[in-house]
């Protein structure tokens, strides 16, 4: 430890204390976690769950363990340094996060967690304090309670901070799955909107009561392996009705509310996996494009809406993971679309695309709007309006954003004449 100089104490936990330090040889700023118990053998150190898991998990959204030092029977973990944790950011922030910021943060966490689960571990202690942030990059930290998926039950019932603890853990189920991590992420997602915990129980019984007040009473058959189901019986005998999440989180979109509902499901089997969450519509919403100044873009093709874009829903499997789009043009010219009536029944065409899916560029769609001569489409004309989906980095957060709209520069007179919409495949690329 002579190579490290302690600069400041960052936190103190049950198992150890964390300090900010500098490597005097390289000037690198690091985080040093000093374990509170003594370690007399090196084998004890390398067999710790935190060490075993982090040695296997290498991902941009998982904290990096740089070095392990044992000195005078004291054990030190040397981590990469992260400036903040998510709890500190929410506590110090005066303005709420935008949904775009929440989407970028959560997508990074989900990518890291998907890597954890894929490599045979679950975290068991996800909470805002254990999500570390530097320059809008967020990483999962503190793997002290992590366990292998192959571990033999029964598991320890006391895992995770109470507010983010899944009901099956509160009810002392003899076994549980990575779904407990997904429950915690649902609670964190809700908190990112409100800066307040959604289930702030003051005890384990009160925690269950707080969950019932939001979700309503569960199905009695949901927890067949629970050893303390009497806790729930005492609470739900009054048939508590579920609350409307939109009232609790008024600044959340319908997509965000739906994702929180799925993650915070009483039934662990109904909670989506981390990979499934990344395909949820919450991470594939369109970016709003404001109207240019003045009335240059005002529709002049009639009093009724002429351009209509409807978003449908995603499926849960890869083959069903599509976004349905409907583009309709209702021109004032009576002959427009007559030649395409056998295809679209009045210039209305349904299209299916697969945004943000690797190696699915052939299933993507590029739309162009061209001036119409009432009978034919001149495909050599440069598109004045284009919509496309692809993966692109988010400039404000730094994390990947799954999909969005891109619009080419409008011509000031683009909508002053009849238009016809067509579709054609486009080469995979970044349009945002």
Cα separation, 346 vs 348, in Å, equals: 6
Cα separation, 90 vs 194, whole angstroms = 9
Tell me the C-alpha distance between 30 and 361, whole Å. Answer: 41
How far is Cα 229 from Cα 225, in angstroms, rounded to an integer? 9
For residue 143, which of 40, 43, 37, 57 has the smallest C-alpha distance?
57
Cβ atoms of residues 261 and 229 within 8 Å? no
Kindly list the strands in the beta sheet with 4-12, ordered across the sheet, starting from the edge strand earlier in the chain: 4-12, 16-23, 29-35, 74-80, 65-71
Long-range CB contacts (within 8 A, 24+) of 211-218: 211/167, 211/264, 212/236, 212/240, 213/240, 213/243, 214/242, 214/243, 214/245, 214/248, 214/264, 215/242, 215/243, 215/264, 215/265, 215/266, 216/240, 216/241, 216/242, 216/243, 218/167, 218/266, 218/267
Active site residues: 125
Question: Which long-range contacts (C-beta less than 8 Å, at least 24 apart) are formed by 224-227?
Answer: 225/168, 225/173, 225/174, 225/175, 226/168, 226/171, 226/172, 226/173, 227/171, 227/172, 227/173, 227/174
Q: What are phi and psi of 78, to 5 degrees?
A: -105, 115
List CB contacts of 70: < 8 A, sequence separation 6 or more.
39, 42, 45, 76
Cα four-point dihedral sign 427, 102, 216, 267: positive
Length of the chain: 432
Q: DSSP string spanning 140-207? A: E---TT-EETTPPSPPPS--S-GGG--HHHHTTBS---THHHHHHHHHHHHHHHHSS-SS--SSHHHH
């Amino acid at each position: 430890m002579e190579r490290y100089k302690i600069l400041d104490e960052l936190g103190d936990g049950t198992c150890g204390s964390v300090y900010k330090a500098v490597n005097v040889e390289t000037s690198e700023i690091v985080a040093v976690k000093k374990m509170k118990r003594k370690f007399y053998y090196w084998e004890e150190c390398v067999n710790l769950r935190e060490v075993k898991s982090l040695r296997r998990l290498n991902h941009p959204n998982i904290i990096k363990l740089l070095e392990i030092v044992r000195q005078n029977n004291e054990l030190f973990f040397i981590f990469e340094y992260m400036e903040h944790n998510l709890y500190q950011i929410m506590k110090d922030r005066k303005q709420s996060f935008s949904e775009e910021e929440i989407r970028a943060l959560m997508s990074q966490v989900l990518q890291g967690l998907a890597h954890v689960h894929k490599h045979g571990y679950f975290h068991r202690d996800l909470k805002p304090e254990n999500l570390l942030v530097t320059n809008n990059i967020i990483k999962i930290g503190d793997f002290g309670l992590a366990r292998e998926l192959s571990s033999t039950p029964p598991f320890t019932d006391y895992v995770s901070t109470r507010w983010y603890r899944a009901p099956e853990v509160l009810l002392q189920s003899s076994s549980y799955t990575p779904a407990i991590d997904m429950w915690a992420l649902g609670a964190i997602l809700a908190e990112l909107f409100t800066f307040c915990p959604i289930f702030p129980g003051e005890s384990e019984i009160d925690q269950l009561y707080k969950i019932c007040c939001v979700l309503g009473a569960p199905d009695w058959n949901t927890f067949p392996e629970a050893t303390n189901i009497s806790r729930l019986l005492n609470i739900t005998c009054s048939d508590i009705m579920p609350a409307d999440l939109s009232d609790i989180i008024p600044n959340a979109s319908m997509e965000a509310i739906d994702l929180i509902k799925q993650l915070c499901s009483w039934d662990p089997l109904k909670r989506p996996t981390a990979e499934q969450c990344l395909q949820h519509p919450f991470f594939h919403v369109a970016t709003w494009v404001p109207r240019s100044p003045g009335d240059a873009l005002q529709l002049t093709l009639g009093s009724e809406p002429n351009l209509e874009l409807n978003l449908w829903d995603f499926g849960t499997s890869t083959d069903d993971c599509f976004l349905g789009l409907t583009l309709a043009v209702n021109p004032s010219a009576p002959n427009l679309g007559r030649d395409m009536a056998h295809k679209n029944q009045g210039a209305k065409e349904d299209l299916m695309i697969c945004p943000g899916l690797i190696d699915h560029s052939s299933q993507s769609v590029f739309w162009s709007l061209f001036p119409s001569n009432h009978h034919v489409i001149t495909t050599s004309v440069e598109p004045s309006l284009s919509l496309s989906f692809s993966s692109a980095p988010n400039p404000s957060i730094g994390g990947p954003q799954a999909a969005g709209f891109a619009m080419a520069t409008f011509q000031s007179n683009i909508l002053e004449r009849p238009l016809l919409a067509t579709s054609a495949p486009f080469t995979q690329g970044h349009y945002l």
